[in-house]
A and B are shown apart, each in its own frame.
Chain A
Amino acid sequence: MTKGGRADNEVAARDGEPLTLVMPGPVVRPGQRPDFSHYGAFAPGAFRRPAVDDSAESMVDLATGLIRVLDDDGNAVGPWNLNLDASSLREGLRVMMLTREFDRRMMIDQRQSKTSFYMQCTGEEAIACAFQSALRTGDMNFPTYRQQGLLVAAGYPLELMMSQVYSNTMDPLHGRQMPVFYSAREYGFFSISGNLATQFVQGVGWAMASALTGGSAIAAAWIGDGASAETDFFSALVMASTYRAPVILNIVNNQWAISTNEAVARGQAPSFAARGRGFGIPALRVDGNDYLAVHAVASWAAERARANLGPTLVEWVTYRTAAHSSSDDPASYRSADEPSAWPLGDPIERLAKHLMVLGALDESQLATLTEQVESEVGAAQLKAESFGTLKDGPKPSPREIFEDVFKTMPESLASQEREAGY
């Protein structure tokens, strides 16, 4: 029998039996042994760095590989090692540490009722922080809710982020948005919606506008593994593909969409990056816990966009070390052994180790940096708290409810405001 014949026989054997579905579930549930070997199998330095104008079809293997630069011993290896200078690397380490410390403090504040809600990005800091280092002033991120590192790396004042989280009188969003849904146009950070995936196609539209007006700015759109199942993900890929828009389409695969494993949205596809092939969009899968790999791939994708070569789809592989949010307890749906079984390590520890291998950092300098970071976040917190928190102190006026619905308030709304009497 030929192979084809066997396949036919299999179909014939199944025909007549009741149909069944693949019901989605995680690889591992609590009490079971986690297995992330499919990521760990890719060696640092193993994948080539194509020319930016290579065809999408010529690099389809990169969508199911894993681009890595830092090895387990802290060495930078392979063609994606851009040999960043020590001061850039130290700055990368600093902003990742700032982001983590910021998250730690805000999570404590949530437990103390200074805010209603919080979302950490613990373990995912390298993606946003290193990505931002590849952007220029004028470029625009369309983030989802775990890219606070973009703001931190862009130098956005921490006290303004905190004030947004506290909904205090210094909150740039006047208390209207849930915590972490920042907006900072001047820092290249589009207003976070809270609805999933909508920003992905807006980023494409922004990039199209830049190109339509003959500009040089590019856009970066962000989405999670789970939300990539939304219609707007596919709308974005179609629009980006049709018009070859100067946009970087980022999928952060942190393994979990609340309690739903990444495999549920991915389905039978070998990776999320593999979605790019059908759209003719170059797509790469990258170790998202590797600051050097993130910086190198982000720079490559940005160079493609700036050279008018169009969109790039990047799947950043990482692990959501923290809970989904302050309202979530992952112990009920994932194995307690998962973090220890995770093969791609912690981004801060890995970059610190690399700096030590380079001789650009020692234990005492790291301790000093830690102190500086804690002190900077602490000072920002003192300042932000002086403008109030959700629990205590001054609050935005209820009059803010009625402002900014329209540029000019219509009479129908003005009458409601008068009735409210604020």
Chain B
Amino acid sequence: MAKMTMVEAIRDAHAVAMERDERVVVFGEDVGYFGGVFRCTKGLQQRFGVSRCFDAPITESGIVGAAVGMAAFGLRPCVEIQFADYMYPAYDQIVSEAARLRYRSAGDFSAPLTVRMPVGGGIFGGQTHSQSPESLFTHVAGLKTVMPSNPYDAKGLLIAAIEDDDPVIFLEPKRLYNGPFDGYHDRVATPWSRHELGEVPEGYYNVPLGSAAIRRPGSAVTVLAYGTMVHVALAAVETYGVDAEVIDLRTLIPLDLATIVASVAKTGRCVVVHEATLTSGFGAELAALVQKHAFYHLGAPIERVTGYDTPYPHSQEWAYFPGPERIGAALARVLEG
């Protein structure tokens, strides 16, 4: 075991995958010589050579489009979009091409590629460096969508994503790169070295896509979260003294519905938390599934705590961010019900 930040864990996942499978190639803007603006690919070019890890021109449609062709050839490309907010030029290649290639060709071709991108706010990135577009991917047939909340999962999930035979969107909460951010932005940041999930095994392991993790067992209410909001929810539960069961979804598609339903059947209450905007967010899907599969266990309406339906603001980002206070208020409402 080694202490790793999420950046180091992602870097290590790349190295492990590249070591095990020479079909894995890594490219994107600034990812080669420099190692990426968040340093997630640092050292890979020096270790594996320029044919395995290289820089790309600033053309997201070119990067993902080429990756689709490479994957169809038989490689396992893992490409980086510098910020999820820059993903839109590649969206056609992701939605119309990567996601549907296996289906439309009846298995004649497939696109086993991984598209990594940092998501979420908390770094004063304003409306073009803070978005959480996960529901733009979960709505698309043929894509798997992953969002880790800690270094251990980041490494294991990324290895599983690269090994997966279908396209995987790998969303990295950038506010978690260096520590388990709990939503209290004015407090001293905790580093991953002081968190148990900053302990990362050396070498190969994977975290299977489609399995959630219960981060805190509880009996009063189920909190469904992923990415940064797992830590914010845990902080809120702690602050407000609620016996909540906090579930880290880890992968949104495929979704670990069994774990969710078992928990809500036990607690009879449910709060869904995500940083993305409210309307048509993934929380809507979770709420619909919970009411369908656990309706008779519910003692109160399901609450959603999310970003507001506005662009992500710059200087007001902490007023926008769905922090512990808002989660605490939602927990209080569902427990009153």
> What is the interface of chain A, defined by CB distance below 8 A to chain B?
140, 142, 172-174, 176-177, 181, 183-185, 190-191, 193, 195, 198, 200-210, 212-213, 219, 231-232, 234-236, 238-239, 242, 403-407, 410-412
Residue B69 is within 8 A (CB to CB) of chain A in the complex: yes
Cα–Cα, bound, A184→B108 (Å): 7
CB within 8 Å for A209 and B75 given contacts A198-B92, A201-B65: yes
> B57 touches which one: A203, A232, A238, A410 (CB < 8 A)?
A238
Residue B206 is within 8 A (CB to CB) of chain A in the complex: no
* Interface contacts beyond A191-B109, A411-B257: sample of 17 additional A-B pairs, CB < 8 Å, sorted by A: A142-B69, A173-B105, A176-B103, A176-B104, A190-B109, A201-B61, A202-B65, A204-B62, A209-B25, A212-B75, A231-B61, A232-B65, A234-B59, A235-B61, A236-B65, A239-B65, A410-B253
Can you list 11 A-B contacts with CB-CB less than 8 angstroms, sorted by A residue number?
A: A172-B108, A185-B105, A191-B104, A191-B109, A203-B69, A205-B72, A206-B73, A209-B70, A238-B59, A238-B62, A410-B254
Q: Report whether B59 and A205 are in contact in the complex, using a CB–CB cutoff of 8 Å.
A: no
Which residues of the partner chain A approach B62 to less than 8 Å between Cβ atoms?
Answer: 201, 204, 232, 235-236, 238-239
Residue B102 is within 8 A (CB to CB) of chain A in the complex: yes
Identify the closest chain A residue to B103 (Cβ). Answer: A404
Identify the closest chain B residue to A242 (Cβ). Answer: B57
Cβ distance A416 to chain B, nearest Cβ, rounded Å: 11
Cα–Cα, bound, A292→B30 (Å): 45
Which residues of the partner chain A approach B142 to less than 8 Å between Cβ atoms?
Answer: 405-406
Identify the closest chain B residue to A410 (Cβ). Answer: B254
Residue from B75, B141, B165 having most chain A Cβ neighbours under 10 A: B75
Cβ distance A188 to chain B, nearest Cβ, rounded Å: 12
Scan B156-181; emit 1 where CB is below 8 A from any A CB, else 0: 00000000011000000000000000
Q: Report whether B210 and A410 are in contact in the complex, using a CB–CB cutoff of 8 Å.
A: yes
Q: Report whether A404 and B65 are in contact in the complex, using a CB–CB cutoff of 8 Å.
A: no
Q: Report whether B72 and A407 are in contact in the complex, using a CB–CB cutoff of 8 Å.
A: no
Q: Report whether A205 and B70 are in contact in the complex, using a CB–CB cutoff of 8 Å.
A: yes
Which residues of the partner chain B approach A181 to less than 8 Å between Cβ atoms?
Answer: 104
Q: Report whether A208 and B102 are in contact in the complex, using a CB–CB cutoff of 8 Å.
A: no
Report B53-106 residues with CB < 8 Å from chain A CB. 56-57, 59, 61-62, 65-70, 72-75, 89, 92-93, 96-97, 101-106
Residue B337 is within 8 A (CB to CB) of chain A in the complex: no
Identify the closest chain B residue to A183 (Cβ). Answer: B105
Q: Report whether A219 and B69 are in contact in the complex, using a CB–CB cutoff of 8 Å.
A: yes
Identify the closest chain B residue to A174 (Cβ). Answer: B106
Cα–Cα, bound, A403→B141 (Å): 12
Which residues of the partner chain B approach A205 to less than 8 Å between Cβ atoms?
Answer: 65-70, 72-73
Residue B222 is within 8 A (CB to CB) of chain A in the complex: no
Cα–Cα, bound, A142→B144 (Å): 25
CB within 8 Å for A195 and B70 given contacts A232-B65, A239-B62, A404-B106: no
Cα–Cα, bound, A242→B55 (Å): 10
Residue B107 is within 8 A (CB to CB) of chain A in the complex: yes
Residue B310 is within 8 A (CB to CB) of chain A in the complex: no
Cβ distance A370 to chain B, nearest Cβ, rounded Å: 33
Q: Report whether A412 and B70 are in contact in the complex, using a CB–CB cutoff of 8 Å.
A: no
Cβ distance A86 to chain B, nearest Cβ, rounded Å: 36
Q: Report whether A204 and B104 are in contact in the complex, using a CB–CB cutoff of 8 Å.
A: no
Cα–Cα, bound, A101→B250 (Å): 55
Cβ distance B292 to chain A, nearest Cβ, rounded Å: 11
Identify the closest chain A residue to B72 (Cβ). Answer: A206
Which residues of the partner chain A approach B57 to less than 8 Å between Cβ atoms?
Answer: 238-239, 242
Cα–Cα, bound, A318→B94 (Å): 33
Residue B284 is within 8 A (CB to CB) of chain A in the complex: no
> B59 touches which one: A173, A202, A235, A403 (CB < 8 A)?
A235
Q: Report whether B104 and A202 are in contact in the complex, using a CB–CB cutoff of 8 Å.
A: no
Q: Report whether A231 and B89 are in contact in the complex, using a CB–CB cutoff of 8 Å.
A: yes
Which residues of the partner chain B approach A207 to less than 8 Å between Cβ atoms?
Answer: 69
Which residues of the partner chain A approach B73 to less than 8 Å between Cβ atoms?
Answer: 140, 205-206, 209-210, 213
> A198 touches which one: B25, B96, B105, B144 (CB < 8 A)?
B96
Residue B51 is within 8 A (CB to CB) of chain A in the complex: yes
Cα–Cα, bound, A404→B108 (Å): 10
Q: Report whether B104 and A177 are in contact in the complex, using a CB–CB cutoff of 8 Å.
A: yes
Residue B110 is within 8 A (CB to CB) of chain A in the complex: yes
